[in-house]
Structure 1
Amino acid sequence: MIRASYRVIFAALTLALLAAAPARAADPKPAVLSAEDKADIARAEAYLNAVTTLKARFLQSSPNGAAAEGDAYLSRPGRLRLQYDPPSPLLVVADGTFLIVYDRELGDPSYVPLGQTPAGVLVQPNLRLTGGEVTVTRVSRLPGVVRISAVESEDPASGEITLVFSDHPFELKQWQVRDAQHQVTTVSLFDVRTGVSLDPKLFQFVDPKFAKPQMNLN
């Protein structure tokens, strides 16, 4: 149940801890890809692999209607931070080895190996949307928008992520996640800046319970 919840969290970078229900969705089927679909997938892979660092504001809309905002930081490979604005107590850090979810109200951080989460795919050195850990289920287009939906190849019933790109210029604007219970969470990005200098400490997590108190030298 914990693994399913974390899959939901990072497939969309949502940070919403959803309890897994016993019911499972039917396995989504791989798409029959046209030449145009394959070209758009290649554009998405090239764009994502070209992003080494990223900073953005995000707005998360959850299935229950709740909304939250915060700052997202990404440093590929392997590192990501989602910092929610108050009053949300959540902080999520991917430090290259673990995905760490810390709820200040609950107090105890949770650790899961990064390779067991979709975050491990999103921040890997050579991201692939086909032929590897991810299988594309459909590619759709609206005026000025390209949508690519995918599932985990080894566990397609766990949920589906849709990456939403603007067409010109080709940029990632939104994630949508449909979980195994068909609940959809949406994360939209704003004020995106790539190629920025980020403090490595953003991707380090120190449990406040074990942090040494700072000495007052005044």
Structure 2
Amino acid sequence: MKSIEAGFVQTGGPAALQGDGMFLYRPGALRMNYAPPHERILVARDGKLVLKDNQSGAVTQLALSRTPLGMLLRTPLRFDDGIQVTDVQRGPSSLQVSLAQASNPSQGLLTLQFSDEQGRLELRGVQGVDGRGHRFGVALYDVRTGVALPPQTFTFP
């Protein structure tokens, strides 16, 4: 996968992380800037996820190994080497791949949703269930791929 810059809409998840904003991804790193009224910054890389609530100043840190999101941030992103593909669904112009950690599938499930235009896959959404049963979905829109994202984009808040 290449770097991605997109708008996003999120539903579900722990701590009511519903909202919308800007989604920035490069292999191994993710940043989500949530728009007002609930401004937050989520940065995930190097085995860690950090979420900062800009209104309260509260900072939450999690190990990526404890969330299904860690599977998306593996570099290179491969569907072997500890990843179990649990389902594949193909539509006329879409592909969905569901993944779990092979050694610990109870840690959650991650479903990557791709558009498939003439054999070219582009990430369009992510859905999942974490180890505590919290469901979440992130839909991407106005997706731009191959954008230059400087390393400081993924500095922890």
**TM-score (norm. length: structure 2):** 0.80
| Pair 1:160-2:112 in alignment | no
Contact kept in structure 2, 1:54 and 1:73, CA below 8 Å: yes
C-alpha distance in 2, partners of 1:163/1:146? 8
Structure-2 separation of matches of 1:133 and 1:99: 20
Q: CA RMSD in A?
A: 2.7
Change (3 A) 1:126 1:205: closer
Contact 2:64–2:70, Cα closer than 8 Å, also in 1: yes
Classify 1:201/1:66 alpha carbon distance in 2 versus 1 (closer, same or farther; 3 Å). closer
C-alpha change, 1:160 and 1:192, in structure 2 (3 Å) is same
Mark the structure with the bigger radius of gyration.
Answer: 1
1:94 paired with 2:44, answer yes
Q: Does 1:136 align with 2:85?
A: yes
- 2:3 counterpart of 1:56: no
Counterparts of 1:96 and 1:188, CA distance in 2 = 24
Query: How much does 1:165 deviate?
Result: 1.5
CA contact under 8 A between 2:34 and 2:41: conserved in structure 1? yes
1:192 is aligned to 2:138: no
Do 2:11 and 2:19's aligned partners in 1 also have CA atoms closer than 8 Å?
A: yes
TM superposition shift of 1:156: 0.8
Over 3 Å counting, the alpha-carbon distance change for 1:82 and 1:142 in structure 2 is: same
Three-state SS of the structure 2 residue aligned to 1:202 is: helix
Secondary structure of residue in 2 paired with 1:88: coil
The answer on whether the counterparts of 1:121 and 1:133 sit within 8 Å (CA) in structure 2 is: no
CA contact (8 A) 2:69 2:110 kept: no
Greater helix fraction, Structure 1 or Structure 2? 1
In 2, are the aligned partners of 1:95 and 1:204 still within 8 Å (CA)? no
Spell out the pairing of 1:27-176 with structure 2 (5 A cutoff): 48=1, 51=2, 53-62=3-12, 67-76=18-27, 78-96=28-46, 98-114=48-64, 117-130=67-80, 132-168=81-117, 169-176=120-127
Structure 1: distance between partners of 2:130 and 2:32: 20
- Structure 2 CA distance for partners of 1:151 and 1:57, relative to 1, 3 Å: same
Give, in angstroms, the shift of residue 119 of structure 1. 4.1
When structure 1 is superposed on structure 2, of 172-181 and 78-87 the one drifting more is: 172-181
Which amino acid in structure 2 is aligned with residue 161 of structure 1?
A: L
Larger fraction in strand: 2
Q: 1:174 to 1:152 in 2, by over 3 A?
A: same
Q: Quick check: 2:45–2:73 contact (8 Å CA) kept in 1?
A: no
1:153–1:81 distance in 2 versus 1, CA, 3 Å = same
CA 1:105–1:189: 2 relative to 1, 3 Å: same
